Amino acid sequence: MKIIILAGGEGKRMWPIQTDKCLIPFLGKPLLYRNLKQVRQNVDGEFIIVANPQSKDGVEKIAQELELSYTIAIQRESKGMADAILSAKDLIEGEVLVLNAEDQLDPKVYGEVIKGGGDVMVAGLKVDKYFPGGYIKAKGDRLEAIVEKPGAGNEPSDLVKLVVDYFKDGKKLVEYLEKATSEKDDVYEVALDKMIADGMDVKFTKYDGVWIPLKYPWQILDITAHLLFKIEHNISPGAKVSEKAIISGPVIIEEGVRVLEGAVIKGPCYIGKNVIVGNNSMVRESDLEEGCVTGFSSDITRSYIGANSWFHTNYVGDSVIEGDFGMGSGAVLANLRLDDHTIRVGDPSTSSGQVDSGRHKLGLIAGKGSRVGVNASTMPGARVGSNSLVGPGVVLYGDVKENKKVLVKQELEITEHTPALTSYDQFREKLK
Amino acid sequence: MKIIILAGGEGKRMWPIQTDKCLIPFLGKPLLYRNLKQVRQNVDGEFIIVANPQSKDGVEKIAQELELSYTIAIQRESKGMADAILSAKDLIEGEVLVLNAEDQLDPKVYGEVIKGGGDVMVAGLKVDKYFPGGYIKAKGDRLEAIVEKPGAGNEPSDLVKLVVDYFKDGKKLVEYLEKATSEKDDVYEVALDKMIADGMDVKFTKYDGVWIPLKYPWQILDITAHLLFKIEHNISPGAKVSEKAIISGPVIIEEGVRVLEGAVIKGPCYIGKNVIVGNNSMVRESDLEEGCVTGFSSDITRSYIGANSWFHTNYVGDSVIEGDFGMGSGAVLANLRLDDHTIRVGDPSTSSGQVDSGRHKLGLIAGKGSRVGVNASTMPGARVGSNSLVGPGVVLYGDVKENKKVLVKQELEITEHTPALTSYDQFREKLK
Amino acid sequence: MKIIILAGGEGKRMWPIQTDKCLIPFLGKPLLYRNLKQVRQNVDGEFIIVANPQSKDGVEKIAQELELSYTIAIQRESKGMADAILSAKDLIEGEVLVLNAEDQLDPKVYGEVIKGGGDVMVAGLKVDKYFPGGYIKAKGDRLEAIVEKPGAGNEPSDLVKLVVDYFKDGKKLVEYLEKATSEKDDVYEVALDKMIADGMDVKFTKYDGVWIPLKYPWQILDITAHLLFKIEHNISPGAKVSEKAIISGPVIIEEGVRVLEGAVIKGPCYIGKNVIVGNNSMVRESDLEEGCVTGFSSDITRSYIGANSWFHTNYVGDSVIEGDFGMGSGAVLANLRLDDHTIRVGDPSTSSGQVDSGRHKLGLIAGKGSRVGVNASTMPGARVGSNSLVGPGVVLYGDVKENKKVLVKQELEITEHTPALTSYDQFREKLK
């Protein structure tokens, strides 16, 4: 069995997160590491990992650490799934299982497609409400077609096709992919349709387990939560936890961590190597990668915090922080609209220029090396590009590109200070 | 004895508090409940409660819960005290005691007017300094006249007439009220003057106990303090108080309350049903009605907090919050002028458009359903109408009407972020 | 031996700190007190303290408290070191040791100059990098000249002359000073040069101990740190420290202090008389002079806080607060530039109008009686003059003169609040 792992995608919608999606560390290990490990434990086979030129080294390191039997193929440009597989065509033969590098899945699904019995076998996720993906049109247990984004009410079934695809004959898959053409980004689906049309035995299995993709940065929060809720409590003997700190629920606390007096950690939480959880700070349901410092009296809740980020008396709720981030005292990453609406995030690929995250709570999404100044506030769903600064006192409603500095220009009124009531009231009057 | 409770007043000056004054809950029970209970315990008689059409149902519920012997009379429009009593005229006979629904009084005063021995008996509050009310002009223990707002220095005595009025013959009171006319809002006082002129035996008793009226919303704080300082320590067995929380002084903690680790409650305090006092939060000398949540590291001091309000890392000092209120992290309700003056509040009925609360400390007065965004600041004595939003980062000096959204428009300067010192200094220079 | 203490300097560069430099209290005692005490313990002699008309009373009080043998000479105007000494000329005879009132020095240096064996003996501080002072040009152990600010790379030695000057014959010193003339502020150095030219035996000793001058206000932080790191742990029996507070490291806690539940003090710290360290507040490596109140959940770190200052949920880092200071809840004194540069402070005597403090961390420098409003932010190195107010929400980049009030004028957009998403998004759009 060849297991093709698609790890070369571009992650356009992940902005401002620049780390290759599959290399983002969760609970101390890159996402790809976790997923490869799970597949290896459940499927016998040789890995073909399709990486891109930027991610190649990171991917290689992971494969080696896992002592996989693997080959890395490089997809030069991000030109879709068919192209990704074809960049590894010389390696493909015999049975093939195609998987996304980032998707969180229950491992039982691998066996179900492998042992499903068709020439081709795919998995359909049971959904409760409309999802903008490719739907399975079925005839019994056989696939008739994949219907891309049919629109709510027009779904041919309640099953959305995942990328857990089994092919009995890998060579044939390559043939079909090489022949297929399309003007859209659906060459792979065109090839699949052709197989059906040619009478191949294309079947599907229903899947109702967990599925978490990583297409948008806020899905980092979904993956974080998913992984945290599976952890087993473990505090490293090399960590120093004050007797006057409070730890509850399952937490992983790594070596070199210091949890200071009055700090509260409410699990599930991952506290990476050498993190300092400062006095009177609270961390809840969050992943703090190594080297972070919460400072005094911060509240970090349901967030993903990349390595070497520092805080000081901040509220960080439902936020995605890539790393090397800094935040001045009193700055707040708001995570809830005052009107309780779901939170929309910029996305130039949509007609509105925004996409609804579907979340009622979402804070900041911050690229690596960014900073938020003292007493600044960022609004729910705002994004800040790498190495940019949001200045002190700024109320940030929109996004900030990379390498920018955003400062507020306040109109200050400077008057003589006399203790008389009048001048103050006059000022108050003017502002009415 | 008929006990007439005047509970139909409009409370014009209570804006933005919309709840009928006598129905505002304190320590879990409406003000009227507490006051009726006190009267019932001290005076034998039948209650005639004059309500308005809006408050009727609430008043009825309270009277039933107390198992009073009562009748409710409805005053259709708010047209003063004489009209209020006359709206119940068919019920009035025999001895009559007239009381305000909201005033906090020492119960001993009831007996003193009832047993005072006159045809009419009123109570005069001993005051230390000028108060803009009706003063008693006395001859021995007999009342000669009520002098309305004589002005400082012109007081005929140091006694201000309260509304604790006893009439031996209720029918006669009705007669006098029906005959009296005035172009001002003083028909009741005109009737009283006529009784004196007609030679009736109108006497007064001196009263030097507590008296707290409810005319302005900040008096809610006075009532809160008055009631809190009388409580007896009681923590419900149905409350969960962390061993790592600190409770001192007398507190009432109701069922379903959760006090989390590191929280501090300094009595006297009332913590209503199902309230959550969050980690590292402090509550002092305050009334938190049911369902409130303080969040992380809030400081709520000498405040009245209506039901279902939530906070998160806030300072709430000397504030009146009607309920269903929400406050973003880092928002502050300032309660002290930087120049230490007493705090003035808007009041269109005065020539200056303001009234001096006489308080050195007064925070926000917020109507039901209002919101204050992250890192916003409200100035001492500011008022926010029901369902209005004060946006993130706003510094609110004045008032906000109902159903408004106030957002700050910041001028942001966005520049390339280079680590060179120059551009920052140039910016700094510009702001000088 | 006459010990001349130069305590009459003007401290022009100390703005906005107005207290005479030598009278600034550290750890409960004026700087002059500490320094005179150290000299007395190490040198036998009679003190001649040159004060100015403003500082005279304070200086006298200290000398009396120390039971010194002393005379105070008054320098009418601040006209340099030679003039200062000459204002005491009638008192000078025999051996003379000249010292600055404020410099922190290792006491061993006194003996080294006194017993050095020359007619005149000075001390040269060994420096690692260029310092803008007077350098020693040496020939063996003899002084050839003092070279004022030679510029980096042109130093005649690595020794900067301190003010620890011994003269065997005080009368001769007076003679030389009276004869010397200069258009610059270097009459003293001109006299010294003349002594050398006349063949007097002018020698120097190398000194490599501590030296902390007090020329700029941020040096108050250096002195604070220097003194704190020498303290011995001592908690007054007259202090009340909650069992639920956490004290670590050496601290001095004076009488009448109250340390409330959840407070953290990390030594070395000095907590002056009657200070209140409020619930959940943290004080680290700081000097809080008497009567200060930290309020709830403040973080005061590496700062000097003059008497009777109050705080409430603030971050105060690396700041110099003269005293009688007040800070509203949520205000932050930023101490670190987002770009990590060293912090520059205004100084009109330089061509750039600024001087580099050389510090990576420096917060606010605040004159006596100043105030910072709720949620205000001051930028690193900002200065606020006595009795000035920085209003709520202000982001202060520059300096504020004395007796000013600085308020921010926000442009507020007030709209109807409807729960529709549109208007909010439109607003968001406009701000882009």
Q: How does pLDDT run across B365-410, given as a tens digit for each residue? A: 999 999 999 999 999 999 999 999 999 999 999 999 999 999 999 9
Which residues in chain A (230-249) have CB-CB distances under 8 A to chain C? 244
Q: Find, among C230, C362, C215, the residue nearest to C303 by Cα.
A: C362
Of the candidates C297, C337, C375, which has its C-beta nearest B375's C-beta?
A: C375
B334/C280 touch (CB, cutoff 8 Å), yes or no: no
Question: Do A47 and A95 meet the contact criterion of CB atoms below 8 Å apart?
Answer: no
Contacting chains of C (3 CB pairs or more, <8 Å) are A, B
Q: pLDDT-based confidence at A79, cuts 50/70/90?
A: confident
pLDDT at C337: 84
Burial class (CB in 10 A: 0-12, 13-18, 19+), B398: middle
A229 touches chain C (CB under 8 A): no
Query: What percentage of chain C exceeds 90 in pLDDT?
Result: 87
Q: pLDDT-based confidence at C430, cuts 50/70/90?
A: very low
pLDDT at A349: 81
pLDDT at B212: 96
B412/A407 touch (CB, cutoff 8 Å), yes or no: yes
> Is 50 exceeded by the pLDDT of residue A430?
no
Mutation for A interface: B412, B414, B415, most A CBs within 10 A = B412
pLDDT at B198: 95
The residue whose two tokens read 């890159």 is A30
Query: Chain C partners of B280 at a C-beta cutoff of 8 Å?
Result: 262, 280, 297
Q: pLDDT-based confidence at A429, cuts 50/70/90?
A: very low
User: A163: distance to nearest CA of chain C, Å?
Assistant: 35
User: Which has the minimum average pLDDT: A367-376, B46-55, B392-401, C130-139?
Assistant: C130-139
A408 touches chain C (CB under 8 A): yes
> What is the average pLDDT across B12-16?
93
Of the candidates C261, C344, C375, which has its C-beta nearest B332's C-beta?
A: C375
pLDDT at A337: 84
pLDDT at C340: 72
Instruction: Extract the tokens encoding B174.
Output: 């009705």
pLDDT at C294: 97
A329/C330 touch (CB, cutoff 8 Å), yes or no: no
> Is 50 exceeded by the pLDDT of residue A386?
yes
> Is 50 exceeded by the pLDDT of residue B293?
yes
The CATH superfamily of B219-406 is: Hexapeptide repeat proteins (2.160.10.10)
pLDDT at A348: 83
| Strands B142-148 vs B134-139: parallel, antiparallel or unpaired | antiparallel
> What is the average pLDDT across A25-32?
98
DSSP state of C342: P
Question: Do C296 and C312 meet the contact criterion of CB atoms below 8 Å apart?
Answer: yes
User: Which residue of chain C is at minimal alpha-carbon distance from B297?
Assistant: C297
Mutation for C interface: B285, B300, B313, B315, most C CBs within 10 A = B315
> What is the average pLDDT across B337-341?
76
- CA quadruple A168, A174, A178, A183: dihedral positive or negative? positive
- Rounded distance, CA C122 to CA C120, Å? 7
pLDDT at B30: 98
* Average pLDDT, rounded, for chain A: 93
A429 touches chain C (CB under 8 A): no
The phi and psi torsions of B166 (rounded to 5 degrees) equal -110, 135
The phi and psi torsions of B23 (rounded to 5 degrees) equal -100, -5
Cis status of the peptide bond prior to C268, with omega within 30 of 0: yes
More confident residue, C350 or A56: A56
Q: Find, among B269, B427, B181, B219, the residue nearest to C395 by Cα.
A: B427
> What is the average pLDDT across C356-371?
95
Which residues in chain A (275-294) have CB-CB distances under 8 A to chain C? 279-280
> What is the average pLDDT across C345-363?
91
B vs C: CB pairs below 8 A: 125
pLDDT at B68: 96
User: A427: distance to nearest CA of chain B, Å?
Assistant: 9
The β-bridge partners of C50 are: C6, C73
* Average pLDDT, rounded, for chain C: 93
> What is the average pLDDT across A57-69?
97
> What is the average pLDDT across B42-50?
97
User: Which residue of chain A is at minimal alpha-carbon distance from C374?
Assistant: A375
> Is 50 exceeded by the pLDDT of residue A245?
yes
> What is the average pLDDT across A261-276?
97
- The CATH 2.160.10.10 domain(s) of chain A lie at 219-406
User: Which residue of chain C is at minimal alpha-carbon distance from B385?
Assistant: C417
Q: pLDDT-based confidence at B279, cuts 50/70/90?
A: very high
Q: pLDDT-based confidence at B11, cuts 50/70/90?
A: confident
Instruction: Extract the tokens encoding C151.
Output: 């510029």
User: A376: distance to nearest CA of chain C, Å?
Assistant: 10
Question: Do C346 and C398 meet the contact criterion of CB atoms below 8 Å apart?
Answer: yes
- The CATH 3.90.550.10 domain(s) of chain C lie at 2-212
User: Three-state SS string across B45-73, please?
Assistant: CEEEEEECCCCHHHHHHHHHHCCCCEEEE
| Strands A404-409 vs A389-390: parallel, antiparallel or unpaired | parallel
Query: Chain C partners of B328 at a C-beta cutoff of 8 Å?
Result: none
Q: Find, among B226, B276, B242, B217, the residue nearest to B27 by Cα.
A: B226
B328 touches chain A (CB under 8 A): yes
> Is 90 exceeded by the pLDDT of residue A82?
yes
C382-393 as b/e: b if 16+ CB within 10 A? bbbbbbbbbbbb
Instruction: Extract the tokens encoding C250.
Output: 């050496």
Within 10 angstroms of residue A421's Cβ, the number of other Cβ atoms is 14
Topology (CATH) of C2-212: Spore Coat Polysaccharide Biosynthesis Protein SpsA; Chain A (3.90.550)
Burial class (CB in 10 A: 0-12, 13-18, 19+), C40: middle
Q: What is the DSSP string of C151-181?
A: -TT--SSSEEE-SEEEES-HHHHHHHHHH--
pLDDT at A169: 96
Which residues in chain B (335-374) have CB-CB distances under 8 A to chain A? 337, 339-341, 344, 354, 371, 373-374
pLDDT at B416: 92
- Rounded distance, CA C269 to CA C394, Å? 30
Instruction: Extract the tokens encoding B294.
Output: 């303080």
pLDDT at C302: 98
A422 touches chain B (CB under 8 A): no
User: C26: distance to nearest CA of chain A, Å?
Assistant: 26
Q: pLDDT-based confidence at B352, cuts 50/70/90?
A: confident
Alpha-carbon distances of A89 from A4, A196, B273, B327, rounded to whole Å: 10, 21, 67, 58
Of the candidates B375, B387, B406, which has its C-beta nearest C412's C-beta?
A: B406
B338/C371 touch (CB, cutoff 8 Å), yes or no: yes
B379 touches chain C (CB under 8 A): yes
The phi and psi torsions of A242 (rounded to 5 degrees) equal -60, 145
pLDDT at C429: 45
Q: What is the DSSP string of A355-384?
A: EE---SB---EE-TT-EE-TT-EE-TT-EE
User: Three-state SS string across C229-258, please?
Assistant: CCCCCEECCCCEECCCCEEECCEEECCCCE
> Is 60 exceeded by the pLDDT of residue A198?
yes
C261-277 as b/e: b if 16+ CB within 10 A? bbbbbbbbbbbbbbbbb
> What is the average pLDDT across C360-374?
96
Q: pLDDT-based confidence at A184, cuts 50/70/90?
A: confident
Question: Do A160 and A136 meet the contact criterion of CB atoms below 8 Å apart?
Answer: yes
B414 touches chain C (CB under 8 A): no
- Rounded distance, CA C95 to CA C100, Å? 17
Claim: this prediction has a pTM higher than 0.90: yes
Tens digit of each residue's pLDDT (9 = 90 or more) over B103-136: 999 999 999 999 988 899 999 999 998 988 899 9
Question: Do A385 and A367 meet the contact criterion of CB atoms below 8 Å apart?
Answer: yes
B225-239 as b/e: b if 16+ CB within 10 A? bebbeebeeebeeeb
> Is 90 exceeded by the pLDDT of residue A93?
yes
Q: Where are the alpha helices (DSSP H) in B118-257?
A: 170-179, 187-197, 219-228
A374/C375 touch (CB, cutoff 8 Å), yes or no: no
Crossing angle of helices C187-197 and C170-179, in 10° steps, is: 110
Alpha-carbon distances of B78 from A361, B53, B174, rounded to whole Å: 46, 10, 18
- CA quadruple A76, A77, A78, A83: dihedral positive or negative? negative
> Is 70 exceeded by the pLDDT of residue B427?
no
* Average pLDDT, rounded, for chain B: 93
- Rounded distance, CA C284 to CA C421, Å? 46
Q: pLDDT-based confidence at C432, cuts 50/70/90?
A: very low
Q: pLDDT-based confidence at B431, cuts 50/70/90?
A: very low
Tens digit of each residue's pLDDT (9 = 90 or more) over B213-235: 999 999 999 999 999 999 999 99
User: Which has the minimum average pLDDT: A109-118, A411-420, B16-25, C130-139?
Assistant: A411-420
Sheet strands (E) in C28-133? 29-30, 46-51, 70-74, 96-100, 104-105, 120-126
Query: Chain B partners of C329 at a C-beta cutoff of 8 Å?
Result: 299, 315, 317, 332, 334
B329/A412 touch (CB, cutoff 8 Å), yes or no: no
- Rounded distance, CA C288 to CA C27, Å? 8
Cis status of the peptide bond prior to A16, with omega within 30 of 0: yes
> What is the average pLDDT across C383-402?
96
pLDDT at B348: 83
> What is the average pLDDT across A323-346?
91
Q: pLDDT-based confidence at A339, cuts 50/70/90?
A: confident
- Rounded distance, CA A154 to CA A147, Å? 10
Q: Where are the alpha helices (DSSP H) in A66-150?
A: 80-86, 108-114
B328/A339 touch (CB, cutoff 8 Å), yes or no: no
> Is 70 exceeded by the pLDDT of residue B413?
yes
